[in-house]
Amino acid sequence: MSVNNLFQQQMPESALPQFNFEEAAQRLSHVVKRTPLTYNAGLSKRYKAEIYLKREDLQIVRSYKLRGAYNMMSSLPQDFLDKGVVCASAGNHAQGFAYSCKLLGVKGTVFMPVITPKQKVRQTEMFGDGHVTIRLFGDTFDDCSREVVRFSEATGQIIIPPFEHLKIIEGQGTVAVEILEDLPDVDYVFVPVGGGGLCAGTGTYLKSVSPLTKIIGVEPAGAPSMTEAFNEGGPVMLASIDSFVDGAAVKKVGSLTYEIARKVLDQMVTVPEGKVCTTILSLYNENAIVAEPAGALSVAALDTFAEEIKGRKVVCVLSGGNNDIDRMQEIKERSLLYEQLKHYFLINFAQRPGALKEFVNNVLGENDDIVRFEYMKKNNKDTGPALVGIELHDSDNFQPLIQRMKSAGFQYSELNKDKILFSHLI
């Protein structure tokens, strides 16, 4: 048996694999932090339900990933560990892996996408404390995964995968062990989905102990890998993904995690990236919670189930809080665009003094603001195109704004509706 298939087994079509989540929880008890399950008054009032947040953002490495990484690595024979270990990760698994390497005294290599936020790279180095080497490779997790296979074959080091392994899934499932210990009669659990390890583990435990609990998997609309797997009857490679929700931006879910997820999840739902950004800002402004995009997925999905969850006990797994402060401007921008509060136009402006003032006086609403203005091409003609960004106080102000532009005789193009122009100019 290949070292990279250690502990793997063929799963009967009609059954789930055998896990020992309680034993895994005991194994992890001296390593992971038992994260709080906190009642959220604001969300509970908004949805007329009892909403609780499972705060894995408060984990030692600020995500649940430590659970699976340490559970697998601590179960390996020592002669395998002596050869070293390797992993591919978009960031959070890397940190759990690195911390496990430090605790076990093992040398590890981490392959991370070049686009990984610097904060996650620095944190991985810190948690590894000299025990890991980081290699930035490719644009996506999937690029790194292919490179890790080649590296493992060349060096003999065992791969510690982020989701596609029984011991990883078992470790992630200890999140559910803690949830049910704190709230035995939970009605709904919303779980972020990337590669599927967390939903497979938590789902298996919840269904075995609390079968009436509904489990909702949530993934970003720009990377719906599990949703497509459900639609197609098996994992498929997505042609392209939006990597913004980096902790859940996976082109293809695991075969093992898919087989388990299709048996234990009651529903899969996708959430637009802009909605995720609005949720991140809301969690920060209203609760002082710093959630990363993947961590906010579960809360972002509540609107979709607003009627269904009324009067119910609901847990949202807030899976991680490794958010780089440098990304906050992009998060705010995506939120404003999603909420239809920010609009970009190409407007034909007279190239003379006072033209912008006339636009402000005759077109702009009382509480609206120009947040960007630049001529795209200055020439000797009377008019020229200008890129104009307008932030509205209320989304209902948009149509009156358009009507005033028309009445004032301005020629314009709405860039928000043109994905190609928007991507080139904004």
Are residues 213 and 72 part of one domain? no
Are residues 194 and 103 part of one domain? no
Q: How confident is the model at residue 422 (pLDDT cuts 50, 70, 90)?
A: confident
* Domain's final residue, options 141, 166, 191: 166
Our CA angle for 213, 180, 170, nearest 5°, is: 90
Are residues 219 and 209 part of one domain? yes
Q: What CATH number did the domain enclosing 45 receive?
A: 3.40.50.1100
Percent of the chain's residues with pLDDT above 70: 95
Are residues 150 and 91 part of one domain? yes
Angstrom distance (rounded) from CA 258 to CA 276: 24
Is residue 338 packed enough to be buried (19+ CB in 10 Å), middle (13-18) or exposed (0-12)? middle
Are residues 317 and 398 part of one domain? no
Helices first, then strands: H and E counts in the chain:
18, 14
Q: How confident is the model at residue 9 (pLDDT cuts 50, 70, 90)?
A: very low
More confident call, 365 vs 27: 27
Is pLDDT at 139 greater than 90 in this prediction? no
Q: How confident is the model at residue 380 (pLDDT cuts 50, 70, 90)?
A: low
User: Within a domain: residue 298?
Assistant: yes
Q: How confident is the model at residue 7 (pLDDT cuts 50, 70, 90)?
A: very low
Beta strands in 93-154 (DSSP E): 108-112, 132-136
Are residues 98 and 38 part of one domain? no
Domains in the chain, number: 3
Is pLDDT at 246 greater than 90 in this prediction? no
* Domain's final residue, options 332, 351, 371: 332
Greatest mean pLDDT range, 95-104, 377-386, 402-411: 95-104
User: Within a domain: residue 6?
Assistant: no
Of 215, 212, 204, the residue nearest 174 (C-alpha): 204
> At residue 216, what are phi and psi to the nearest 5 degrees?
-110, 120
User: Within a domain: residue 371?
Assistant: yes
User: Within a domain: residue 2?
Assistant: no
Weakest-pLDDT range from 57-71, 212-226, 250-264, 347-361: 347-361
Q: What is the mean pLDDT of residues 132-154?
A: 91
Angstrom distance (rounded) from CA 273 to CA 16: 32
Angstrom distance (rounded) from CA 344 to CA 398: 12
pLDDT in tens, 45-82: 999 999 999 999 999 999 999 999 999 999 999 999 99
Q: How far is CA 210 from CA 166, 187, 215, 226, 317, in A?
A: 21, 9, 11, 23, 17
Are residues 194 and 303 part of one domain? yes
Residue with tokens 């990933």: 65
Q: How confident is the model at residue 1 (pLDDT cuts 50, 70, 90)?
A: very low
Weakest-pLDDT range from 10-24, 197-211, 322-336, 412-426: 10-24
Please, where are the H alpha helices in 240-396?
A: 255-264, 273-287, 297-300, 328-338, 355-362
Token couple for 165: 């392994």
User: Within a domain: residue 8?
Assistant: no
Q: What CATH number did the domain enclosing 366 receive?
A: 3.30.70.260
Report long-range pairs for 119-124 (Cβ below 8 Å, ≥24 apart).
119/322, 119/323, 119/324, 119/325, 119/326, 120/90, 120/91, 120/92, 120/94, 120/95, 120/322, 120/324, 121/91, 123/61, 123/62, 123/91, 123/95, 123/322, 124/91, 124/94, 124/95, 124/98
- Which element (helix H / strand E) includes 243? none
Q: Answer for the pair 308, 314: CB distance below 8 angstroms, yes or no.
A: no
Q: How confident is the model at residue 354 (pLDDT cuts 50, 70, 90)?
A: confident
Q: Which domain holds residue 293?
A: 23-64+169-332
Are residues 181 and 155 part of one domain? no
Are residues 404 and 295 part of one domain? no
Q: How confident is the model at residue 425 (pLDDT cuts 50, 70, 90)?
A: confident
Q: How far apart are the first and last CA of the chain?
A: 52
User: Within a domain: residue 211?
Assistant: yes
Please, where are the H alpha helices in 210-354?
A: 225-232, 255-264, 273-287, 297-300, 328-338
Q: What is the mean pLDDT of residues 131-144?
A: 89
pLDDT at 14: 53
User: Within a domain: residue 288?
Assistant: yes
Q: How confident is the model at residue 378 (pLDDT cuts 50, 70, 90)?
A: low
Are residues 417 and 404 part of one domain? yes
Are residues 393 and 299 part of one domain? no
User: Within a domain: residue 155?
Assistant: yes
Q: How confident is the model at residue 4 (pLDDT cuts 50, 70, 90)?
A: very low
Q: Answer for the pair 376, 412: CB distance below 8 angstroms, yes or no.
A: no
Are residues 125 and 115 part of one domain? yes
* Domain's final residue, options 133, 166, 199: 166
pLDDT in tens, 266-306: 999 999 999 999 999 999 999 999 999 999 999 999 999 99
